[in-house]
Structure 1
């Protein structure tokens, strides 16, 4: 009998990993503290409980990155996708579920599987005797386990406060208006870069545009903190843009929108204010709006930020947010198979790795399960091609993101390797999806020998 894998956390990632391991004849102990100790967000002890929305977003695998991720997960017999399809409710082209039926389906399948043992109770630290450990505790990791992770990885590598600025697709920025230039040269002598040089893209605002922008921030509709977030203080390094704006109409001009050291090449003069964008992934396809973490509602963000010259047609890979969240600095801590460099017994999966969203969390759990199954069986794990949705998401988590500014991310086509010679928009998305499907098949074949089974019947394990 292969060695047992201990999974800490029975959310989407932990549940999916347990299923993938058990299908490959590996015994699993799935540790879930709910049933003995609840989190502030959950209301049941069911495995894979959906805390917020009941939507898994678009199911279109030909033009949408998350739909493509659905496609790849189904091809690998994902338990989460099986349960979602069985609990589906009408939602147009999106995949939405009855959340209670969904959780019940996942729970029943795992509890019935002969190789899965569900143990209720809090794990404050992995037992030193456990040879294979997967931590999949999500954004509300309990305090004792978080302290263990901090001690293992270092204080600076575990975040409890997720301050997210919007990210835009680089190709959607109007470079006839915006220009590339850093405020000061790297020598630090106060000299300016010439326009066209430097690491930042600048979107200029004149006086009227700036004050209209500030007014829009002040009047825009903000999202409320959830109950367990309300005691989360603001920190100077992650102050919401609208909170800064409330301090006075000129505050942003002396903060993230300061124009000092910049010249608009169209006028030769310093603009009244600027919005700066900085590269956010190694491929250069995504740009972070610098200093623009926000609690504005998502629709308001799109409306207001598109008033900035150069961003009128901006396409957002991720919108901003500010909330409590535990996640590790995966690009510097994990290897490409989600294994922790500081303790090779331990893998991570799910939102704690820095992915965002139900489907993404489950997909990372699925990959962690596959990698662990290979390792337990004495084989070297093979990672998915970067051209696939799984591969693109994994690359973001384990090295594709800029490590010093790493933040959780949903899957999106901006994470995929660039595709040359293809038009923008729907044609480009279709081409990226087609390339991904072609690349995925060969890698997935490696794992096709896992147990079979249909519907939510655990007999395939």
Structure 2
């Protein structure tokens, strides 16, 4: 760098929650930061204010209890000096068991702290390509401009960048009625079911009955997960038809103007598929071919498959069931699935505009692009979901970068913590990488020596362990 640019140690692009948190943490560690924010010259379609850290959707940062994974994440951030949590606590409003803020006062507080910091310089302009300066943190959020997204796609490969995020719900393993389901992969092949998007590519029109697929592409998708890679929830004909009718009739979240519906055929909401015809799902993600219910010895009429979210199989993803249904409707409709009548939902489904990268394929241990050393990603562009998670990703990215710049060994937060769970999610390979809120499945499970604890007690023990471990990690360094 030369001229004015040489007066800065790190460039941060984006003044949202992740960018502000990253800039603040770097500056607190003695580094000079240039934070580039395009407002007030330009806003995304979701923004209405010129302040930084604008909350564009709800004013809620979700549950506060430590038995809630996001509640734990917030408490960890408090204990390690997060700017976002400091400002959130200062501007909180009554919200029952959640942390909610006065969004205007929150953005004012964040902006004031960033602009007043002696080691942060704010520059207002749009960044249309990856800056040449190194190191740089890209924290441009889910509505990253088309020009910058194109620059990123050129650097990492367009196949590693997504512009819409199709998220299926996740349920807790111990809330599944295991007497009603069984484990089996299609044709006895571990992972033979294709990923959520791939499984739907054939759903471009009313499907026609097809023989069990034997093509090479299907076989190449096999994994080493064994014959218990998937959990199968079987439907008889009446259950299936009632489920389809409920999907079609359910209340949906309307797309916002900047999310004008442009669904990819490979990531259709389940209710869109259901509306195409009563049998569409049974020839898509609910096809029963290659499966035998051990209780009947027969192939079921249809199945909804669940895939483990973590190595310990503490949580399961509803394969192919990304949805725009309202949350209350998701609870009602998905609890019609045999075996999920009492399901605890760790994450609800959604489909919305969201630019993000395939983090497990692209990012190294310091949240740095392997293809572009010195270029780090933070916030929703890396694949986290939610206000708190975005701030946490900015925090972790800054801490790891500061360690690099001091030529220290990387010391990430422990995997037993919610902060460590952010990195676990970014590094966990999936058939199709999807953004996610923090869940207990991202945090290392308890040692079996703890015995079998009921859900709430287990989460409380995990939270106690996490706070102890994050405190030791923080004190060491």
Give yes or no for TM over 0.5.
yes
Offset, 1:380: 2.4
Q: How does 1:211-360 map to 2 (within 5 A)?
A: 211-230=241-260, 232-360=261-389
Report if aligned partners of 1:245, 1:252 keep a CA contact under 8 Å in 2: yes
Partner of 2:341, secondary structure, is coil
**Structure 1 partner of 2:400:** 371
- Pairing 1:400–2:403 present: no
Report if aligned partners of 1:2, 1:376 keep a CA contact under 8 Å in 2: no
From 399, 413, 416, the counterpart of 2:440? 413
Question: 1: CA distance between counterparts of 2:402 and 2:275?
Answer: 53
- Pairing 1:173–2:200 present: no
Structure 2 unaligned regions, length at least 5: 1-5, 193-212, 216-221
Offset, 1:388: 0.3
Structure 1 unaligned regions, length at least 5: 448-461
**Structure 2 partner of 1:446:** 476
Report if aligned partners of 2:23, 2:398 keep a CA contact under 8 Å in 1: yes
**Structure 1 partner of 2:41:** 36
Question: 1: CA distance between counterparts of 2:119 and 2:282?
Answer: 60
Report if aligned partners of 1:153, 1:333 keep a CA contact under 8 Å in 2: yes
From 378, 382, 386, the counterpart of 2:411? 382
**Structure 2 partner of 1:85:** 89
Report if aligned partners of 2:64, 2:74 keep a CA contact under 8 Å in 1: yes
Question: 2: CA distance between counterparts of 1:337 and 1:278?
Answer: 28
- Pairing 1:149–2:178 present: no
Report if aligned partners of 1:169, 1:286 keep a CA contact under 8 Å in 2: yes
- RMSD (Å) for aligned C-alpha atoms: 1.8
**Structure 1 partner of 2:204:** none
Question: 2: CA distance between counterparts of 1:347 and 1:409?
Answer: 19
Report if aligned partners of 2:188, 2:290 keep a CA contact under 8 Å in 1: no
**Structure 1 partner of 2:123:** 119
Report if aligned partners of 1:137, 1:352 keep a CA contact under 8 Å in 2: yes
Q: How does 1:11-160 map to 2 (within 5 A)?
A: 11-61=16-66, 63-128=67-132, 130-160=133-163
- Pairing 1:4–2:33 present: no
Report if aligned partners of 1:306, 1:314 keep a CA contact under 8 Å in 2: yes
Report if aligned partners of 1:159, 1:325 keep a CA contact under 8 Å in 2: yes
User: CA offsets per residue over residues 263-319 of structure 1, 9 Å max, x none?
Assistant: 211111221111111223333222221111111111111111111111112111211
**Structure 1 partner of 2:203:** none
**Structure 1 partner of 2:235:** 205
Report if aligned partners of 1:336, 1:395 keep a CA contact under 8 Å in 2: no
Offset, 1:2: 9.0
Report if aligned partners of 1:17, 1:365 keep a CA contact under 8 Å in 2: yes
Report if aligned partners of 1:281, 1:401 keep a CA contact under 8 Å in 2: no
Question: 2: CA distance between counterparts of 1:22 and 1:67?
Answer: 26
- Pairing 1:423–2:453 present: yes
Question: 2: CA distance between counterparts of 1:380 and 1:32?
Answer: 31
Question: 1: CA distance between counterparts of 2:445 and 2:417?
Answer: 12
Offset, 1:393: 1.7
Offset, 1:3: 5.5
Partner of 1:209, secondary structure, is helix
Question: 1: CA distance between counterparts of 2:473 and 2:429?
Answer: 23
Report if aligned partners of 2:8, 2:34 keep a CA contact under 8 Å in 1: no
Partner of 2:352, secondary structure, is strand
Inter-CA distance 401–438: structure 2 relative to 1 (3 Å threshold): farther
Partner of 2:411, secondary structure, is coil
Question: 2: CA distance between counterparts of 1:82 and 1:435?
Answer: 23
Question: 1: CA distance between counterparts of 2:407 and 2:186?
Answer: 52
Offset, 1:127: 3.3
> What is the total number of aligned residue pairs between the two structures?
438
Report if aligned partners of 1:422, 1:431 keep a CA contact under 8 Å in 2: no
Partner of 1:138, secondary structure, is coil
Inter-CA distance 2–375: structure 2 relative to 1 (3 Å threshold): farther
Q: How does 1:180-195 map to 2 (within 5 A)?
A: 180-186=183-189
Question: 2: CA distance between counterparts of 1:431 and 1:202?
Answer: 31
